[in-house]
Chains A and B, each alone.
Chain A
Amino acid sequence: MSMDIADSAAATATAEAAAPAPTPLLRTLGDADAAVCTDGFCAVPAAEAVTQPEAATQTGADK
């Protein structure tokens, strides 16, 4: 599998174990579950997976 953002970040974190964990810098707007590419292609969520409960990580207030 090619390296995606999360993998890159993980690799960086491993290489620089002494570095402090990054603090979230941004306030999230929009739907946190919207489709993103992470690995060269973007798997489309199955229809039943699209209707999920409110995302626990949602920090935006614009729902």
Chain B
Amino acid sequence: MKIEIWSDVVCPWCYIGKRRLEHALGEFEHADEVEIAWRSFQLNPDTPPGTAVPTSEYLVQRFGPQASQMTGRVAALGREEGLDLDFDAALTVNTLDAHRLLHLAADQGVGDAAKERLLRAHFTEGADLSDPETLVRLAGEAGVDSDRAREVLAGTEYADAVRADIELAQAFGATGVPFFVIDRKYGISGAQPAEAFLQALRTAYAEETQDRGAPTR
């Protein structure tokens, strides 16, 4: 069973959804048969590369005075999942380079570790994910070869892969992220409660098994 997950590293619901899916997988009887593939999506593709704007300022510009109320609610939901979402420290950036690095990480077998590291760096540590050396350091901490990371960031490698991911999400009819696709047959939108993820996983597994004519365990 392959789960493809479209998300952005500056998307709080993506971080919350990741945790909830992990909780569901902890309960799923066939978790050892699950493969996770992270797919790219950029929420702010128009943000100029190389710039970092305090997220708190960005949100006030976007949403006005109610921004702090919105972040407060999401932060509270994050805490329920054990996440420290610090919107006062976070920096809004163009995440294209971060996504290119995540593709490299996936090729090196550490895609999930790199995704987790970048999410934590953005939401908890206030890291500037537009800074190449910061990205190299974080990727290195997740197990990515640092020389290779620098090489990728110095060029345009994996940019096509990022674009292809975004186009595929659109083809699947995604209206936001996180967006989860199981075996290219089932779509799950949003940061579902862990129970909903678990039920969806069981439904998909049972139907796939039935389609293959094999008995369910």
Interface residues of A (CB under 8 A from B): 1-6, 8-9, 12, 22, 24-44, 60-62
Contact = CB atoms under 8 A, between A and B. Distances in A.
A28 B62 CA distance: 31
A43 to B, nearest CB: 6
Does more than half of chain A's interface fall in helix, strand or loop, or is it mixed? loop
B204 interface: yes
Interface of B: 8, 10-14, 41, 43-47, 58-59, 62-63, 67, 70, 73-74, 77, 92, 166, 169-179, 181-182, 184-193, 196-197, 199-200, 203-204
A8 B170 contact: yes
B74 A44 contact: yes
A9 B46 contact: no
A16 B171 CA distance: 14
B181 A26 contact: yes
Contacts of B186: 26-29
A9 B74 CA distance: 27
A25 B171 contact: yes
A61 B176 CA distance: 21
A52 B43 CA distance: 27
A5 B169 contact: yes
Given A24-B173, A25-B171, A40 B43 contact: yes
A34 B172 CA distance: 17
